């Protein structure tokens, strides 16, 4: 991917009519309740987490669904509950809201396709302030094998500038919860700061980390993340040009985005938008809107099989208007989204 210049994503489509589903689109699964995260496995199965029920489901390659586990200790409320999932190092990592905080727990992932289960769990990160909103919640293993965790400001913007607080940050920890020796602030899990509510992270082909986050009243952001840098919240929002703060590479009006899951697939970023009810396709520094209104609120996106993209809807979380069969995972050919 070429390094994009600073651009303002314009509203590309007008009117309220939903765009029709592109050719080749199909439902992978329907009937999910407040889903938040999905992780595709090498076995062909996909794990899906439901925010409010705290269930982890296994979607098998033949389309059947079974319950893997219900994560104990989850205390759903507002935007909190069972949030991000990640799999690696023989483990499943879960970011969730507990009674007193947000935390990350590591579970042994046992079994195989059709029989996955969770073994004993170990909390590897806790003490993240929780709130009715701005809980962050995305976790992903980076190319370096470390775990990256997006943490919102939990309703207190000043936390984002406080390096002694883990909130309003992107954190980097080892898979055992340890702090990597080469983190930018010695002894601290903080990787970058000045974030309001980041929920999307992905790496491009060069191993560069990118993130998307919710703004407040003006601008949602797509940021190139560098270790130790300050992304401005709450001092600035969007492209401000102020020394000491990193400007986003792309910004959107909040009505057009409210960005959540982010994926990088074959040179293209795909960004799931909630309030904007669309999928942003970011290629060579240009953002184009797809699926505008087609499936309602979109929470997550991942690479599917055979040149496809999977998109997770989020219309049953109390803020959307569910369609028949919601929530669902939709499979789309990548070439109908990119024009390729």
On the question of pLDDT at 3 being above 50, the answer is no
Domain assignment present for residue 293? The answer is yes
Domain assignment present for residue 288? The answer is yes
Q: What is the pLDDT confidence band of residue 217, given thresholds at 50, 70 and 90? A: confident
Q: What is the pLDDT confidence band of residue 18, given thresholds at 50, 70 and 90? A: confident
What pLDDT does 338 receive? 87
Domain assignment present for residue 64? The answer is no
Q: What is the CATH number of the domain that holds 281?
A: 2.40.10.500
Q: What is the pLDDT confidence band of residue 5, given thresholds at 50, 70 and 90? A: very low
What pLDDT does 17 receive? 66
Domain assignment present for residue 299? The answer is yes
The average confidence (pLDDT) of the chain is 94
Q: What is the pLDDT confidence band of residue 167, given thresholds at 50, 70 and 90? A: very high
Domain assignment present for residue 298? The answer is yes
Domain assignment present for residue 233? The answer is no
What pLDDT does 10 receive? 37
CB 272 within 8 A of CB 265: no
Domain ranges, residue 323: 1-30+257-340
On the question of pLDDT at 64 being above 60, the answer is yes
pLDDT, mean of residues 271-294: 96
pLDDT, mean of residues 266-270: 97
CB 29 within 8 A of CB 65: yes
SS (H, E, C) the chain: CCCCCCEECCCCCCCCCCCCCCCCCEEEECCCCCEEEEEECCCCCEEEEECCCCEEEEECCCCCEEEEEECCCCCCECCECEEEEEEECCEEEEEEECCCCEEEEEEEEECCCCCCEEEEEEEEEEEECCCCCCCCCCEEECCCCCEEEEECCCCCHHHHHCCCCCCCEEEEECCCCCCCCCCCCCCCCEEEECCCCEEEEEECCCCCEEEEECCCCCEEEEEECCCCCECCCCCCCCCCCCCCCCCCCEEEEHHHCCEEEEEEECCEEEEEECCCCEEEEEECCEEEEECCCCCCCEEEEEECCCCEEEEEECCCCCCCCCCCCCCCEEEEEHHHHHCC
On the question of pLDDT at 247 being above 60, the answer is yes
What pLDDT does 279 receive? 98
On the question of pLDDT at 62 being above 90, the answer is yes
Per-residue model confidence as pLDDT tens digits over 151-166? 999 999 999 999 999 9
Q: What is the pLDDT confidence band of residue 19, given thresholds at 50, 70 and 90? A: confident
Domain assignment present for residue 11? The answer is yes
Domain count, the chain: 1
Buried b (16+ CB within 10 A) or exposed e, 135-158: bbbbbbbeeeebbbbbbbbbbbbe
């Amino acid at each position: 991917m070429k390094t994009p210049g600073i651009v303002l994503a314009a509203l590309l489509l007008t009117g309220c009519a939903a765009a029709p589903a592109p050719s080749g689109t199909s439902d992978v699964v329907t009937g999910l309740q407040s889903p938040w995260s999905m992780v595709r496995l090498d076995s062909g199965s996909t794990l899906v987490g439901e925010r409010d029920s705290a269930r982890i489901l296994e979607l098998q390659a033949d389309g059947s669904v079974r319950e893997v586990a219900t994560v104990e200790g989850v205390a759903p409320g507002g935007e909190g509950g069972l949030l991000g999932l990640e799999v690696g190092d023989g483990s499943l990592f879960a970011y969730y809201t507990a009674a007193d905080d947000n935390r990350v727990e590591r579970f042994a992932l046992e079994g195989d396709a059709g029989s996955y289960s969770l073994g004993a769990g170990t909390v590897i990160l806790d003490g993240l302030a929780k709130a009715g909103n701005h809980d962050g919640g995305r976790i992903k293993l980076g190319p370096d094998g470390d775990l990256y965790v997006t943490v919102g400001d939990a309703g207190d913007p000043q936390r984002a500038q406080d390096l002694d607080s883990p909130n309003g940050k992107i954190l980097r920890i080892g898979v055992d919860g340890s702090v990597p020796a080469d983190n930018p602030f010695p002894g601290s899990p903080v990787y970058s700061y000045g974030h309001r509510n980041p929920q999307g992270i992905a790496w491009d082909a060069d191993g560069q980390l990118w993130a998307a986050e919710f703004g407040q009243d003006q601008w949602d952001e797509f940021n190139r993340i560098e270790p130790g840098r300050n992304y401005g919240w709450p001092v600035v929002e969007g492209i401000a040009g102020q020394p000491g703060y990193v400007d986003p590479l792309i910004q959107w009006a909040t009505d057009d985005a409210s960005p959540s899951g982010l994926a990088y697939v074959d040179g293209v970023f795909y960004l799931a938008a909630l309030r904007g009810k669309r999928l942003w396709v970011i290629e060579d520094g240009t953002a184009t809107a797809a699926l505008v209104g087609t499936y309602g609120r979109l929470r997550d996106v991942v690479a599917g099989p055979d040149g496809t993209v999977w998109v997770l809807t989020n219309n049953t979380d109390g803020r959307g208007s569910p369609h028949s069969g919601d929530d669902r995972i939709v499979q789309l050919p990548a070439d109908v989204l990119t024009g390729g």
